[in-house]
Amino acid sequence: MKQQVHGNVTGVRDTLIEALGQLYDYEVDEDTFLPRELMQVLARFTGVLNREIAVYITRDGEVVDVSIGTDRDVELRDYRLRRNTQRLSCVRCIHTHPNGDGRLSDVDLSALRSFRYDAMVAIGCLKSEPTFVQSAFLVEKQNLLMDEPVRWYKTPDGDWMRQITESDRIVGWEADEKGTHAKERAVLMGIESMESLDELARLADTAGAEVVGQFLQKKDKPDTALFIGRGRADELCRQCQALEADLCIFDEELTGIQARNLEEILRVKVVDRTTLILDIFAQRASSAEGKLQVELAQLQYQSSRLIGQGLVLSRLAGGIGTRGPGESKLEMNRRHIRERMTELRRRLDAVEKQRELRRKSREKNEIPVVALVGYTNAGKSTLLNQMTGSDVYVQDQLFATLDAVSRRIETAEHTPFLLVDTVGFIRKLPHALVSAFRSTLEEAVLADVLVIVNDGASEEIMQQHDTVVQVLSDLGATEQPRIEVINKCDLYTDEAGAPMLIPGAVRLSAKTGEGIAELHARIAEQLQKTYAPVTFVLPFDRFGLVGQIRPLGRVINEEYTDTGLELTVVLANADRDRLVSKYGKEILKT
């Protein structure tokens, strides 16, 4: 049976492919690691093609695979002759380097660890002749034993064969060091800026990944098929392999086709920024409403990416024996997602009705709402705790707060209000999240006063501030009075250039309490423009007005005198002016 030559055979003459195919008939003595004659043959083919050549040899001396690469690399194949993937594969990989450099690359060593070859060998080739050879072997705890490059005619076959035996004795018997809870190793890829990639790295860390590499390709318009173009994708594949990455995270939203194509080339899991943020939200959601909102957002995002996504669709509904969904499988998943989204919306509507009842109760009692809004991890929850004495969950992570948390407090003038902590904003906030979390985000839309919390310790404070302002505008929260706050003043100094970039902002530290009193005063000042305590003096002959005044606000003091009643109520200025216009100024205590 004729064996196939794999890899990059485009442009290679049939006669050369046929000649390479004859390497399958080459027999290597069981005691010989790498025959010098075979090195010379591989060097001649490498010189003619100016491409890397790889052969895979079993311990019995059989050549089981021949592959052609490019002038820079060759696809290293996962060839195992054992079921136990922790043991050595019983196959050694021999490949050439056309530039004459016989040293093993990072990609070579990563493949040795990943595919657990008996050995990895590089042969430097120059002018169709072998130059230097280097070999590497796996030892205990995923460490490597690597010899210095030697002249091709001085390879120590006996020592290298004995090392395979020794490695086989120790590799795969030790406990798996990575464990089931090890962090995924992530490579980041973006086309915008390193600042955006740094934020993506923080998101990846929050999601539980270990970032092992960040790469940027400045690109005005993403490639429709691969987002970054074929050449850069091939290079990224080598980088992922060299860094032993488990997944690659892209700093933009990928189409289903792009994600599928990239997974085929990179041979690691591919996720985009939106998927990463959704994953963080899924981890952080604690309330029933938050979990419903996250699931709805995930389904909304997945539903738009079912077409053409063999890999992704298989993740959604694949089972034993699933090779890739056909049209009926695709339609079935669409229907299941639609049905589940309908159920989630129904349940969220019920939750929203309860929220609306609470809002109406607050409005009836004229309790104003002050909402803390801002970029994620700006310190909103810490500020809420500092102002109210609460113990809301606080962590130096992105999206530590998903559910709106409210606490009732009073100003120095005894005006009560609700202080609400909201979910943080971020650049490129996924549309599916905005839609699913709209009821939660409406806490900002319906608030009487917005406190915009800015991270004074961030070098991108102004960019983050612009993002918050834009999201508020998109939500329709443009009419309320705003109080600007620059938090974390304990982490910067005026000389560092961070503090008063935003005119009129309150400088404070939610952690130490510095500046909190000024913020309380600013909130009271804003509330007094809308709500304020008013004392009515009602003689007994006008006692009927009590029934009109009480429903308009919250009674904070009620005192009977010899002439009538003094009633102190927190109510809207508009209601006060209406009462004075109708009944005269004499009803107010001067």
What's the average model confidence in pLDDT over 406-426?
Answer: 81
Q: Evaluate if residue 118 carries a pLDDT over 60.
A: yes
- 151/189 same-domain check: no
Between residues 255 and 496, the one the model is more confident about: 255
In the chain, the number of structural domains is: 5
Q: Beta 91-97 vs 53-58: how paired, if at all?
A: antiparallel
65 lies in some domain: yes
386 lies in some domain: yes
Q: Identify the residue whose tokens are 């592959």.
A: 67
**What is the pLDDT at residue 324?**
38
What's the average model confidence in pLDDT over 135-162?
Answer: 91
- 272/401 same-domain check: no
Question: Do 223 and 243 contact (CB within 8 A), yes or no?
Answer: no
Amino acid at 284: R
**What is the pLDDT at residue 321?**
31
- 332/451 same-domain check: no
486-523 pLDDT tens trace: 998 877 655 444 445 788 888 898 888 889 999 999 98
Longest dimension (CA), the chain: 120
Q: Evaluate if residue 126 carries a pLDDT over 90.
A: yes
- 557/495 same-domain check: no
469: helix, strand or coil:
helix
106 lies in some domain: yes
- 24/128 same-domain check: yes
Between residues 24 and 317, the one the model is more confident about: 24
- 11/141 same-domain check: yes
- 290/249 same-domain check: no
When pLDDT is cut at 50, 70 and 90, the band that residue 316 belongs to is: very low
246 lies in some domain: yes
| CATH code, domain carrying 546 | 3.30.70
217: helix, strand or coil:
coil
What is the rounded CA–CA span in Å between residue 40 and residue 44? 6
68 lies in some domain: yes
Between residues 52 and 394, the one the model is more confident about: 52
Q: Evaluate if residue 44 carries a pLDDT over 90.
A: yes
- List the domain range (segments joined by +) for residue 334: 285-360
What is the rounded CA–CA span in Å between residue 175 and residue 179? 9
- CA-derived radius of gyration, the chain: 34
**What is the pLDDT at residue 1?**
45
242 lies in some domain: yes
**What is the pLDDT at residue 317?**
36
Percent of the chain whose predicted confidence (pLDDT) is above 90: 25
**What is the pLDDT at residue 547?**
87
Between residues 431 and 299, the one the model is more confident about: 299
- Of the candidates 558, 562, 561, 556, the one whose C-alpha atom is nearest the C-alpha of residue 546 is 558
- 302/251 same-domain check: no
Q: Evaluate if residue 151 carries a pLDDT over 90.
A: yes
**What is the pLDDT at residue 409?**
86
What's the average model confidence in pLDDT over 331-345?
Answer: 78
**Boundary of a domain, candidates 259, 281, 303:** 281
Q: Evaluate if residue 13 carries a pLDDT over 50.
A: yes
**What is the pLDDT at residue 178?**
45
When pLDDT is cut at 50, 70 and 90, the band that residue 314 belongs to is: very low
pTM value > 0.85? no
Partner residues linked to 372 by β-bridges = 421, 451
**What is the pLDDT at residue 470?**
87
- Of the candidates 232, 520, 498, 512, the one whose C-alpha atom is nearest the C-alpha of residue 370 is 520
- 47/158 same-domain check: yes
**Boundary of a domain, candidates 104, 137, 170:** 170
439-468 pLDDT tens trace: 566 667 778 889 999 988 888 888 889 888
Length of the chain, please? 590
**What is the pLDDT at residue 330?**
58
- 242/345 same-domain check: no
| CATH code, domain carrying 229 | 3.40.50.11060
**What is the pLDDT at residue 388?**
84
**Boundary of a domain, candidates 327, 344, 360:** 360
**What is the pLDDT at residue 124?**
96
564: helix, strand or coil:
strand
178 lies in some domain: no
**What is the pLDDT at residue 280?**
82
143 lies in some domain: yes
Amino acid at 369: V
26-37 pLDDT tens trace: 989 988 999 999
- 302/277 same-domain check: no
- 86/146 same-domain check: yes
